[in-house]
Structure 1
Amino acid sequence: MTTGQKKKFKLIDLILITLIIALIIYVLYRIRVSIRYEWSWDIIPKYLFRFDDDRGRFVASTITHGFIMTIKLSIWGIILGTLIGVIMGILRVQNGLFGRFLGRIYVDIIRNIPPIVLVFIFYFFFSSQILDNLGFEEAVLRAGPAMQNFVRIIFIDPKLLNEFLSAALSIAIYEGAYITEIVRAGIESIPKGQWEAGHSIGLSRFAQFRHIILPQAFKNVMPPLSGQFISTIKDSAIVSVISVPELSFQGMQVMASTYATFETWIVITILYFVLTFSCSSIFSRLLKKMQSAD
């Protein structure tokens, strides 16, 4: 089969899809008749959007605020994690012993620590000790409304700034260890002849990296890197343990106040799926465009 040839939809595919749908319907039916649970879907919409009498319009409510916070955390985790991963990945392939040692120690330590432990370390040490002493949060709270609104839009409510920074940095450092290995593997996948060609025309090692190696390595690392970005979105749920009001934390708040356990977590699951599936589709399109450009 050629690469551009489309796969045909066969009878066996239709049979398998029908069987899967029938199985899902049967499982849902058994859950319906065997579990004694009073469904309360009518209470969920007000936790997505509520009508604000002062503004005269619908505004985001608890779950939607958590969804937005998850997006912010994921974006900052991806940006900082990529920055850390690229720097450490380059150090991992340097000729100097110190750079390779530093990159190796970072990867070995972070990848062998449970992420929840890393979150607690940053929360109790970095946030409670370092950030509190630096006074970032207090400086923002003393600033004018314009600065507070800026922080609220880009990060979080100024009163929770330290917790947000701690959460974003812990996610970035954890994901950065995996991105480091992706970048290292991408650079090492470039044939040695490319380095020799750059050296033969008088390019410095930095110039070889910038003009020859990194552009080629970027194409090689995009598929695993996109998967790591999606993993970052899912891993952001772990910071709910330090009361950062992201999607999972807000889901627990709604569940505790309404006792609508199944309804709440079904909605939370759907929102996570929508977010990760959308990102996956975007990355797939970008990868196809990059491949077609080659």
Structure 2
Amino acid sequence: MATKRKTRSGGHWRATFDSLAFLLLLAGLGWLVIEGAGTLHYNWQWYRVPQYLYQLKDGVFHPGPLLRGVGVTLELTGWSLLLTVAFGLTAALLQRSSSWAGRAVARVYVEIVRNTPMLVQLYLVYFVLAPILEMDRFVAAVLALAIFEGAFAAEIFRAGIEAIPPGQWEAADALGLSRYAVYHRVILPQAIRLVLPPLTGLAVSLIKHSALVSVIAVADLTTEGRNLIADTFMTFELWFTVAALYLALTTSLSLLVGWLERRLPVRGGEHG
């Protein structure tokens, strides 16, 4: 009993210390920002920020440039994520196929994409591939993001598939299932729970990497923020607001996927 009380007391003090350390860190960062702005004789204008988020005209809500940028970022991320999963799963399955050509193509794709900068790939897609295929800048941005993130998704899917116990493969083969049925009915349903956490991290990275599309003038959140800063010279206020909006997007995504993960049924291969 005394040991339990001691453990609880230690946990309480540890939590209190962590909270104080976090608050001190925030206070330190705030002091650095304020001191830096003071050194530059910066004139804070936070009162002007809300109009760039939204406006109410005659009781009707109108999104401002920043919220419109959030909408474009979400659309860009959504389409890119769908293609990322498609590219990643295809490459993972090709790496495990019996075709040497398929394995070679998948391996080359993964190695080249993972070892070259995202920005270079974006420029190649936009300036080389887009004119040939007559793609607009939004489609080019979606494709470039999906190609880049798909290479990392391929390794996530491959690891998830290879983590399935050998007995599951043997049981499926014993039932005489086709290769498609083995993956569709046995392997992939079990792999989903394994790959969901790392895929969530990949989706968060995708949201952050989407800021790079501002270099090809896609009207995402970063582009809208840069345009407003050029017009208003409210550098600190607008960049902090843009950062807060990105943080809200990534945190919301993590919470949503965590909620979904807890509600996924436990499939075969997990024993109590």
Same fold (TM over 0.5): yes
SS in 2 for 1:58: strand
Q: Which residue of 2 aligns with 1:116?
A: 119
The alignment status of 1:223 with 2:197, answered yes or no, reads yes
Contact 1:94/1:100, CA 8 A, preserved across alignment: yes
Q: Which residue of 1 aligns with 2:60?
A: 57
Q: Which residue of 1 aligns with 2:4?
A: none
SS in 2 for 1:10: helix
Q: Distance in 1 between matches of 2:55 and 2:177?
A: 61
SS in 2 for 1:94: coil
Q: Distance in 2 between matches of 1:25 and 1:276?
A: 23
TM-score (norm 2): 0.88
Q: Which residue of 1 aligns with 2:234?
A: 260
Q: Which residue of 1 aligns with 2:3?
A: none
- Among candidates 170, 187, 192, match of residue 166 of structure 2: 192
- Deviation track 1:184-223 (CA, whole Å, cap 9, x = no partner) reads 1111112222222211121122221221111112222111
Q: Which residue of 1 aligns with 2:176?
A: 202
Amino acid at match of 2:117: P
The alignment status of 1:176 with 2:139, answered yes or no, reads no
Q: Distance in 2 between matches of 1:88 and 1:292?
A: 26
Q: Distance in 1 between matches of 2:17 and 2:172?
A: 56
CA distance change for structure 1 residues 31 and 247 in 2, over 3 Å: closer, same or farther?
A: closer
Q: Distance in 1 between matches of 2:157 and 2:25?
A: 42
SS in 1 for 2:264: helix
- Among candidates 28, 31, 55, match of residue 30 of structure 2: 28
Contact 1:93/1:188, CA 8 A, preserved across alignment: no
Q: Distance in 2 between matches of 1:210 and 1:225?
A: 19
Stretch of structure 1 that moved more, 115-124 or 27-36? 27-36
The alignment status of 1:39 with 2:44, answered yes or no, reads yes
Q: CA deviation at 1:22?
A: 3.3
Q: Distance in 1 between matches of 2:118 and 2:194?
A: 27
SS in 2 for 1:108: helix
Amino acid at match of 1:209: Y
Q: Which residue of 1 aligns with 2:96?
A: 93
- Among candidates 66, 70, 79, match of residue 67 of structure 1: 70
Q: Which residue of 2 aligns with 1:129?
A: 132
SS in 2 for 1:59: strand
Amino acid at match of 1:225: L
How big is the alpha-carbon RMSD for the aligned residues of Structure 1 and Structure 2?
2.0
- Deviation track 1:27-86 (CA, whole Å, cap 9, x = no partner) reads 424543443211011221111113457xx6231111111111100000011011111111
Q: Which residue of 2 aligns with 1:289?
A: 263
Q: Distance in 1 between matches of 2:28 and 2:191?
A: 48
SS in 2 for 1:50: strand
Amino acid at match of 1:216: Q
TM-score (norm 1): 0.81
Which aligned runs of 4 or more in structure 1 are off by greater than 6 angstroms? Answer: 291-294
Give ranges in structure 1 of 5+ residues lacking alignment: 1-6, 133-161
Q: CA deviation at 1:174?
A: 0.6
Aligned length: 257
